[in-house]
C-alpha cells in the first residue's frame, strides 16, 4: 500500500514537473505575450522591428537561472492579476543594461554617431555617467515603442534632460553641441543669412530663436497617483526619486514629467512680422541693417536694439499714408532727453561720410579701368555704399554697422589709390579703438563734426587723436556732455606766443605726428626726415613761434612750391625730382 502511494506521488510530481516545464517552455515564446489583449500592440511592434529575432525573455529576464526563475514568478503574478481583473493596461517592463550589452558590443558605442543625420551624439558622454545627478541607463533614452523600431530613441527624454530646470530655452550644454551653426547660407524673408559669420560677434542663439521650447516639464503631484496611493512625503526629493524610478526601475521621463517640446517655433519678433505678413519682404534691406548683415568685408554686427528684442513698431509709431514714421520723440521716451539730438548727429555724420566716399568712388570709376587686383576692392565698396543708401535711415537702424561699412569702403578706396601710385597702404587707426563702452559707443561720427571756438572753427577729429572726451566734456550723468569752462580756454593746450617762442621741433611732436599724411596727389613731404635733420618748424611754417598757436592756425598752413623749397633744395636732375614727386 505504501509502495503504491509512493509510486503515485512520484508520478504526480513528475507530471507537475513536466507541466511546469511545458508551461515554462510555452511562456518562453514571444507569441504568448499576445495572449493578453492589452499586450497585442507591444507584440506587433516587436514583431515588425529589428529585434524580431530576439525573444522577449532574452531582454526582459535577467540572464542566468536565478534571473529566469525570478522572471517566471513575476509572469505568474501578472497572470493572476490579469485573471482577477487587477491588471494595468500600461505595463512597465525593466530591461537591464547587461542584457543590452550581451548583444551590443560596448566598444561599438565609443564612436560619435549622427542622430537624424545631423546631430552628433556620443554614448560615452551619456552612458555610465551621472547627468544632472541621475545615473542614466540604456532604456532612459531607448524606450520609445514605434512601428518598425522597438526601443527607439525617445526624444522626450532628450528635451526633458536638456531643458528642464534651466532658464527658458537654455539647454544643458549649448545649442552648438547638438546643432552646430548651419554651414550654408539660408534665406529669411529675402535676407541672405550666414549663421557662422553672425556667431563670431558673440550673439546668442536665443536672440533670434525665441520660444524654442514649449512646456515646463514639471511633475504634478497628482501624477504620483498613477502608481502610489500615498508616499507624498518623498515628493520633492529629486535625487531619491530619480534613483528609484530612473536608475533602478528604468521608468521613462514622461511617466512623471509633463512634456517639453523643442523646435523652431518662433523667430525673433524684432523683424516686424505684422508688416511682413501683408507687405512681404519690402523692408528686407532695413532688416538686414538692423540685424547687422548684408554688407561685405565686415563681421556681422547686430544693433543693440535688436539684441534687446525691440520690434520695428517700437520706434515707428506715427502712422502716415505711406509707412509708419519714427519720430524723434520715440528715442527720448526710452533713452531720455537729448537722445533725439544724438540721432540727428548720426545722420549728419553718415550723410557727410557717405557723400565723401561716394564722390571718391565715382572719381575712381571715371579713371582708367581697374585692374584685377583693384576691381574686388571697388566692387565691395560699391556694394556697401548701395546698401547704406537703400536703407535710407542714415545709420539710425544700426549706426555701428553702417559706420563700419563706411570705414571699410574708405579703406578699399585708399587701397586702390595706393595700388595706382605703387606705394604701400598704411591703414589709419580708428579713434579710440578697443573701447566698446567709451563715448564712441553712443557718439558715433562725432569726429566728423566741427565746433565753433572763437576766433575759428575747430575739428573734433583732431582733438580726439590726442585726448579723451572728458578733457573738455563732463561724462557724469547729471552734467553729461557739458563743456568745461576751463576747456574754453584753449591756451591750456594751444600755447600762447611766449610759450611758442621757447619750443623746439621735437616739442611739436607731443601733439603732431611726425609722419603726416600727404596733402598733394603729386608731391609728398616727409616731416620725419626734416625733423631728424633738426630743421626748425619756422623754416617752413613762417612766424609759427612769433604768435599764439591758435592765431597761427587761423592763417592756414603754407603750401610750399618750387620756389619755397628751392631755398634749401637744389633741383639739378631727375633724381632730385623723385625725392618729392612719386608721379608726374
Q: Give me the percent of the chain exceeding a pLDDT of 70.
A: 75
- pLDDT (0 to 100) of residue 432: 55
Cell of 418: 595706393
d(CA 58, CA 42): 16
On the question of pLDDT at 452 being above 80, the answer is no
Q: Specify the residue for cell string 532727453.
A: 337
| Contact (CB, 8 A) for 240 and 251 | no
What average pLDDT does the chain have? 76
Q: Where in the chain is the domain with CATH 1.20.140?
A: 283-420
On the question of pLDDT at 276 being above 80, the answer is no
Q: Which residue from 325, 351, 329, 353 is spatially nearest to 339, judged by alpha carbons?
A: 329
* Residue 434: band (very low, low, confident or very high) from pLDDT cuts 50, 70, 90: very low
d(CA 471, CA 464): 10
Highest mean pLDDT of the ranges 262-266, 281-285, 381-385, 537-541? 381-385
On the question of pLDDT at 277 being above 60, the answer is no
Is the backbone of residue 105 left (phi > 0), alpha (psi -120 to 50) or beta?
beta
* Residue 584: band (very low, low, confident or very high) from pLDDT cuts 50, 70, 90: very low
**Higher-confidence position of 260 and 439:** 260
Cell of 372: 584685377
pLDDT in tens, 100-131: 888 887 777 778 877 877 788 888 778 777 77
d(CA 433, CA 462): 16
pLDDT in tens, 497-539: 888 888 777 777 777 766 665 555 566 667 777 777 767 777 7
On the question of pLDDT at 319 being above 70, the answer is no
**Cα–Cα separations (whole angstroms), residue 381 to 208, 302, 362, 388, 402:** 29, 20, 11, 11, 12
Going 426 to 428 to 434 to 436, the CA torsion angle's sign is: negative
Collect all residues with Cβ–Cβ distance below 8 Å to 275 and sequence separation of at least 6: 283, 312
Cell of 15: 507530471
For the stretch 92-109, what's the b/e string if a residue is b when 16 or more beta carbons lie within 10 angstroms of its beta carbon?
A: eeebbbebbeeeeeeeeb
Mean local confidence (pLDDT), 295-321: 78
| Contact (CB, 8 A) for 345 and 460 | no
How many residues does this entry show for the chain?
A: 584
On the question of pLDDT at 96 being above 50, the answer is yes
On the question of pLDDT at 191 being above 90, the answer is no
Q: Give me the percent of the chain exceeding a pLDDT of 90.
A: 4
* Residue 430: band (very low, low, confident or very high) from pLDDT cuts 50, 70, 90: low
Cell of 303: 544693433
d(CA 141, CA 148): 17
Cell of 497: 606766443
Q: Where in the chain is the domain with CATH 1.10.3820.10?
A: 17-91
Quickly name the fold that domain 283-420 has.
Butyryl-CoA Dehydrogenase, subunit A; domain 3 (1.20.140)
Mean local confidence (pLDDT), 141-161: 72
* Residue 278: band (very low, low, confident or very high) from pLDDT cuts 50, 70, 90: very low
Mean local confidence (pLDDT), 185-195: 70
* Residue 267: band (very low, low, confident or very high) from pLDDT cuts 50, 70, 90: low
- pLDDT (0 to 100) of residue 559: 61
d(CA 558, CA 236): 84
**Cα–Cα separations (whole angstroms), residue 399 to 290, 350, 440, 514, 562:** 9, 9, 11, 33, 45
CA angle 122, 125, 126 (to 5 degrees): 95
d(CA 259, CA 261): 6
Collect all residues with Cβ–Cβ distance below 8 Å to 205 and sequence separation of at least 6: 174, 175, 176
Helix axes 284-291, 375-391, angle to 10 degrees: 110
| Lowest mean pLDDT, pick from 340-344, 415-419, 573-577 | 573-577
Which helix (DSSP H) or strand (DSSP E) does residue 330 occupy?
helix 328-335
- pLDDT (0 to 100) of residue 408: 92
| Lowest mean pLDDT, pick from 115-124, 152-161, 454-463 | 454-463
| Contact (CB, 8 A) for 399 and 445 | yes
d(CA 403, CA 394): 10
Q: Which residue from 71, 87, 90 is spatially nearest to 79, judged by alpha carbons?
A: 87
d(CA 194, CA 299): 11
- pLDDT (0 to 100) of residue 573: 61
d(CA 267, CA 379): 33
- pLDDT (0 to 100) of residue 61: 83
Q: Specify the residue for cell string 521716451.
A: 333
The CA-to-CA distance between both ends of the chain, in Å, stands at 140
Mean local confidence (pLDDT), 346-366: 88
CA angle 308, 311, 315 (to 5 degrees): 105
**Cα–Cα separations (whole angstroms), residue 465 to 169, 428, 436, 468, 509:** 45, 11, 17, 8, 13
- pLDDT (0 to 100) of residue 402: 92
Cell of 390: 537703400
- pLDDT (0 to 100) of residue 169: 61
DSSP letter, residue 243: I
On the question of pLDDT at 361 being above 80, the answer is yes
d(CA 237, CA 313): 47
* Residue 168: band (very low, low, confident or very high) from pLDDT cuts 50, 70, 90: low
Give the per-residue SS3 of 324-357.
CECCHHHHHHHHCCCHHHHHHHHHHHHHHHHHHH
On the question of pLDDT at 286 being above 80, the answer is yes
Mean local confidence (pLDDT), 212-228: 79
Domain 17-91 of CATH type 1.10.3820.10 = yes
pLDDT in tens, 34-60: 778 778 878 887 887 777 788 888 888
Mean local confidence (pLDDT), 244-270: 75
d(CA 433, CA 152): 55
- pLDDT (0 to 100) of residue 383: 93
Cell of 336: 531720455
d(CA 269, CA 211): 11
Neighbours of 15 (CB within 10 A): 10
Helix axes 399-420, 375-391, angle to 10 degrees: 150
* Residue 311: band (very low, low, confident or very high) from pLDDT cuts 50, 70, 90: confident
Q: Residue 66 class from Cβ within 10 Å (0-12 exposed, 13-18 middle, 19+ buried)?
A: exposed
* Residue 15: band (very low, low, confident or very high) from pLDDT cuts 50, 70, 90: confident
Amino acid at each position: 500500500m505504501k509502495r503504491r502511494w509512493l509510486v503515485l506521488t512520484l508520478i504526480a510530481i513528475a507530471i507537475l514537473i513536466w507541466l511546469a516545464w511545458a508551461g515554462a517552455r510555452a511562456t518562453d515564446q514571444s507569441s504568448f505575450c499576445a495572449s493578453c489583449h492589452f499586450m497585442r500592440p507591444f507584440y506587433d511592434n516587436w514583431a515588425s522591428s529589428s529585434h524580431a529575432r530576439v525573444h522577449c525573455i532574452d531582454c526582459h529576464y535577467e540572464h542566468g537561472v536565478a534571473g529566469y526563475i525570478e522572471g517566471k514568478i513575476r509572469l505568474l503574478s501578472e497572470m493572476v492579476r490579469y485573471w482577477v481583473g487587477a491588471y494595468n493596461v500600461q505595463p512597465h517592463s525593466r530591461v537591464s543594461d547587461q542584457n543590452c550589452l550581451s548583444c551590443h558590443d560596448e566598444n561599438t558605442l565609443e564612436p560619435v554617431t549622427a542622430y537624424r543625420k545631423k546631430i552628433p551624439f556620443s554614448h560615452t558622454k551619456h552612458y555610465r555617467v551621472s547627468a544632472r545627478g541621475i545615473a542614466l541607463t540604456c532604456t532612459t533614452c531607448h524606450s520609445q515603442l514605434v512601428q518598425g523600431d522597438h526601443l527607439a530613441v525617445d526624444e522626450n527624454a532628450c528635451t526633458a534632460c536638456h531643458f528642464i530646470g534651466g532658464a527658458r530655452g537654455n539647454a544643458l550644454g549649448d545649442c552648438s553641441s547638438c546643432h552646430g551653426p548651419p554651414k550654408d547660407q539660408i534665406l529669411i524673408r529675402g535676407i541672405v543669412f550666414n549663421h557662422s559669420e553672425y556667431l563670431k560677434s558673440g550673439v546668442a542663439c536665443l536672440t533670434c530663436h525665441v520660444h524654442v521650447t514649449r512646456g515646463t516639464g514639471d511633475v504634478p503631484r497628482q501624477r504620483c497617483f498613477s502608481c502610489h496611493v500615498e508616499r507624498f512625503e518623498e515628493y520633492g526629493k529629486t535625487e531619491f526619486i530619480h534613483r528609484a524610478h530612473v536608475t533602478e526601475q528604468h521608468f521613462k521621463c514622461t511617466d512623471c514629467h509633463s512634456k517639453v517640446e523643442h523646435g523652431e517655433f518662433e523667430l525673433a519678433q524684432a523683424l516686424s512680422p505684422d508688416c511682413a505678413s501683408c507687405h512681404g519682404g519690402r523692408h528686407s534691406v532695413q532688416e538686414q541693417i538692423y540685424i547687422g548683415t548684408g554688407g561685405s568685408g565686415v563681421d556681422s554686427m547686430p544693433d543693440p536694439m535688436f539684441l534687446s528684442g525691440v520690434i520695428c513698431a517700437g520706434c515707428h509709431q506715427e502712422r502716415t499714408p505711406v509707412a509708419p514714421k519714427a519720430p524723434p520723440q520715440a528715442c527720448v521716451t526710452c533713452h531720455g532727453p537729448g537722445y533725439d539730438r544724438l540721432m540727428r548727429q548720426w545722420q549728419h555724420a553718415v550723410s557727410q561720410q557717405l557723400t565723401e566716399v561716394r564722390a571718391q568712388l565715382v572719381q575712381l570709376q571715371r579713371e582708367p579701368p581697374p585692374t584685377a587686383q583693384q576691381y574686388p576692392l571697388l566692387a565691395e565698396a560699391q556694394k556697401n555704399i548701395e546698401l547704406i543708401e537703400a536703407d535710407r535711415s542714415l545709420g539710425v537702424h544700426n549706426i555701428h554697422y553702417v559706420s563700419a561699412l563706411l570705414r571699410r569702403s574708405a579703406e578699399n578706396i585708399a587701397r586702390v589709390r595706393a595700388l595706382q601710385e605703387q606705394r604701400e597702404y598704411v591703414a589709419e587707426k580708428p579713434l579710440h579703438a578697443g573701447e566698446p563702452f567709451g563715448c564712441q559707443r553712443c557718439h558715433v561720427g562725432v569726429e566728423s563734426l566741427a565746433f565753433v571756438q572763437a576766433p575759428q572753427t575747430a575739428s573734433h577729429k583732431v582733438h580726439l587723436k590726442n585726448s579723451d572726451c572728458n578733457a573738455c566734456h563732463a561724462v557724469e550723468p547729471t552734467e553729461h556732455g557739458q563743456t568745461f569752462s576751463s576747456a574754453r580756454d584753449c591756451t591750456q593746450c594751444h600755447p600762447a606766443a611766449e610759450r611758442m617762442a621757447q619750443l623746439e621741433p621735437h616739442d611739436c611732436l607731443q601733439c603732431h605726428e611726425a609722419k603726416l599724411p600727404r596733402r598733394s596727389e603729386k608731391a609728398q613731404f616727409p616731416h620725419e626726415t626734416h625733423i631728424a635733420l633738426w630743421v626748425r618748424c619756422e623754416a617752413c611754417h613762417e612766424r609759427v613761434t612769433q604768435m599764439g598757436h591758435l592765431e597761427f592756425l587761423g592763417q592756414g598752413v603754407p603750401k610750399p612750391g618750387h620756389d619755397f623749397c628751392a631755398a634749401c633744395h637744389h633741383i639739378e636732375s631727375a633724381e632730385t625730382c623723385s625725392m618729392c614727386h612719386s608721379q608726374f
